[in-house]
């Protein structure tokens, strides 16, 4: 159904018109003993709709040029202007925190890489083994001090938007759309197979598929990990209990880096998916509204 989004509105109209017609026919033929909405009748209805749709789509069919047009027109006249399927997917709080977080995360990663450049190792200072040489062009701040200024400024935005996001999700109940739960486990593999191995597309059950839920829930966990490990690195003595929890100051630095690697794994996949799913999907993170969502509900 989603192959031709522009026609969907029209299809809906025709579908409902067709069902009405079918109902009337049934009543006329005296099939009243059978409820109108019973399942045996439905395949016929669908077939009829599909047949009609094909005619609507193929305008070059000369046999019955007037039929499709007139039926569409009459529905329009009878029920007012055409209606569009749409969903208000992203509340304002989610959109604001998404973009504040996107900016903060960009600054935190690029400045963080610059900070890491000052001592690109997890071993001892003597002898220093350089783990990887990060190109300067990927970093922000110009030098260690500048990068720290960016890091120490945007950590507050990152933390504030993250905490606000989590509180909003909890208290609004909106988390149900995105939280990965044990029930989603079985749906992960079919979705991954569809995306990466050209497998069949599993039916869309809700706003997010199980793989999306897994990805988004993981980013929240990564955010919490980077925030907590960041606190330890910033004030290891004041947060000594937290340092102990992460296995000491030295290990915490590795955790902090690992959290960034997690984000670096998520971001390209996220951006590719956004690019593949088109404008209406991207625009919904700006306006909240998604036109013609691919899921039914």
Partner 1 sequence: MITRLEDKELKRKSRRELLKLAPIVALGAFTFPKVSDRLIEEGVRFSDWAAGEMFRSQHLAQTFSNSDVVPFAKFPYNFYDVVDPGVDLAKWTLTVEGDVQHPGEYTLAQIQALPKKVQNTRHICVEGWDVIGSFGGTVISDFFNLIGANTKARFLEVTCVDDYYESIDMASALHPQSLFCYEMYGQPLDRGHGAPLRLQMPTKLGYKQAKYLDTIRITNVLTPGKTGYWEDQGYSWFGGL
Element (H, E) at 291: strand 289-291
Question: Which CA distances in Å does 265 have to 42, 161, 196, 201, 259?
Answer: 45, 21, 15, 23, 10
Element (H, E) at 270: helix 249-276
Tell me: does residue 72 bind partner 1 (CB under 8 A).
no
For residues 135-154, which are near partner 1 according to CB under 8 A?
Answer: 144-146, 148-150, 152-154
Q: Which is nearer to partner 1, 223 or 293 (CB)?
A: 293
Tell me: does residue 204 bind partner 1 (CB under 8 A).
no
Nearest by Cα to 23 from 44, 51, 54: 44
Q: Which two tokens stand for residue 76?
A: 């329009």
Element (H, E) at 290: strand 289-291
Separation CA 47–CA 50 (nearest Å): 5
**In the set 78, 92, 132, 276, which binds partner 1 (CB under 8 A)?**
92
Smallest separation, CB 189 to partner 1 (Å): 27
Binding segment (CB under 8 A) for partner 1, from list 29-37, 42-50, 65-73, 280-288: 280-288
Residue with tokens 């004030």: 235
Helices marked H in 120-209 — which ranges?
Answer: 144-172, 185-197
Smallest separation, CB 271 to partner 1 (Å): 19
293: helix, coil or strand? coil
Tell me: does residue 115 bind partner 1 (CB under 8 A).
yes
Cβ neighbours of 78 (radius 10 Å): 9
Q: Which is nearer to partner 1, 43 or 80 (CB)?
A: 80
Q: Which is nearer to partner 1, 12 or 188 (CB)?
A: 12
**In the set 4, 27, 51, 85, which binds partner 1 (CB under 8 A)?**
85
Separation CA 49–CA 47 (nearest Å): 5
173 Ramachandran zone, left/alpha/beta (phi>0; psi -120 to 50): left
Tell me: does residue 121 bind partner 1 (CB under 8 A).
yes
From residue 3 to residue 42, the character string flagging contacts with partner 1 as x (rule: CB under 8 A) and all else as - is: ------x--x------------------------------
Q: Which is nearer to partner 1, 150 or 180 (CB)?
A: 150
Residues lying near partner 1 in the complex (CB under 8 A) are found at: 9, 12, 80-88, 92, 95-96, 99-100, 103, 115-116, 118-119, 121, 124-126, 128, 144-146, 148-150, 152-156, 234-238, 240, 249-250, 253, 283, 286-289, 291, 293, 295-297
């Amino acid at each position: 159904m989603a192959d031709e989004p522009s026609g969907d509105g029209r299809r809906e109209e025709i579908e409902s018109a067709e069902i009405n017609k079918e109902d009337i026919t049934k009543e006329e033929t005296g099939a009243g003993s059978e409820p109108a909405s019973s399942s045996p009748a439905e395949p016929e209805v669908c077939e009829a709709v599909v047949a009609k749709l094909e005619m609507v789509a193929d305008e070059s069919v000369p046999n019955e040029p007037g039929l499709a047009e007139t039926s569409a027109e009459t529905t329009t006249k009878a029920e007012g202007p055409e209606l569009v399927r749409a969903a208000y997917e992203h509340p304002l709080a989610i959109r604001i925190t998404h973009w504040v977080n996107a900016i903060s995360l960009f600054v935190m990663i690029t400045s963080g890489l610059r900070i890491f450049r000052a001592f690109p190792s997890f071993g001892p200072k003597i002898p220093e083994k350089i783990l990887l040489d990060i190109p300067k062009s990927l970093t922000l701040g110009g030098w260690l001090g500048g990068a720290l200024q960016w890091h120490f400024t945007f950590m507050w935005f990152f933390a504030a938007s993250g905490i606000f996001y989590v509180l909003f999700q909890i208290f609004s109940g909106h988390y149900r759309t995105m939280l990965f739960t044990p029930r989603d486990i079985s749906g992960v593999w079919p979705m991954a197979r569809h995306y990466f191995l050209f497998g069949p597309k599993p039916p869309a059950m809700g706003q997010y598929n199980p793989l999306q839920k897994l990805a988004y829930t993981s980013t929240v966990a990564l955010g919490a990990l980077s925030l907590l490990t960041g606190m330890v690195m910033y004030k290891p003595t004041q947060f000594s209990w937290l340092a102990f929890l992460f296995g000491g100051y030295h290990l915490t630095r590795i955790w902090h880096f690992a959290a960034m690697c997690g984000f670096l794994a998520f971001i390209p996949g996220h951006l590719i998916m956004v690019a593949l799913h088109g404008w209406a999907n991207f625009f919904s993170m700006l306006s909240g509204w998604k036109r013609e969502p691919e899921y039914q509900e």
